[in-house]
């Protein structure tokens, strides 16, 4: 279960990251467009920050689930086989 969950989170992160890279490759003008008229900030900055935040969120999700569910499963396995 842990491996499958880790793969799902990894795939989510890879899709987001490679989607960003493909956006840079095929539509760089979108990322260079200012967020609002007269703004220095372009769409590339919040999109890049969103990818960074997504990685933190996915890591947090994994850590919470690992501490709550996967550690308990490992403990049960160790107790069962240490008899």
**Looking at the DSSP assignment, which residues form a beta bridge with residue 34?**
42
pLDDT in tens, 4-23: 988 999 999 999 999 999 99
Structure tokens at 76: 């049960």
pLDDT in tens, 44-62: 999 999 999 999 999 999 9
User: Is the distance from CB of 4 to CB of 62 less than 8 angstroms?
Assistant: no
The confidence score (pLDDT) of residue 11 equals 96
Longest dimension (CA), the chain: 70
For residue 83, pLDDT over 80 is answered with no
- Stretch 29-54: mean pLDDT, rounded? 92
Q: Cα 4–66–81 angle (5° rounding)?
A: 85
pTM for the whole structure: 0.75
């Amino acid at each position: 279960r842990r491996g499958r969950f880790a793969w799902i989170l990894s795939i989510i992160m890879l899709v987001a990251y490679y989607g960003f890279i493909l956006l840079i490759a095929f539509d760089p003008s979108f990322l260079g467009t200012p967020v609002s008229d007269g703004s220095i900030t372009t769409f590339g900055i919040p999109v890049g920050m969103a990818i960074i935040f997504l990685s933190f969120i996915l890591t947090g999700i994994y850590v919470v689930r690992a501490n709550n569910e996967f550690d308990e499963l490992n403990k049960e396995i160790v107790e069962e086989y240490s008899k």
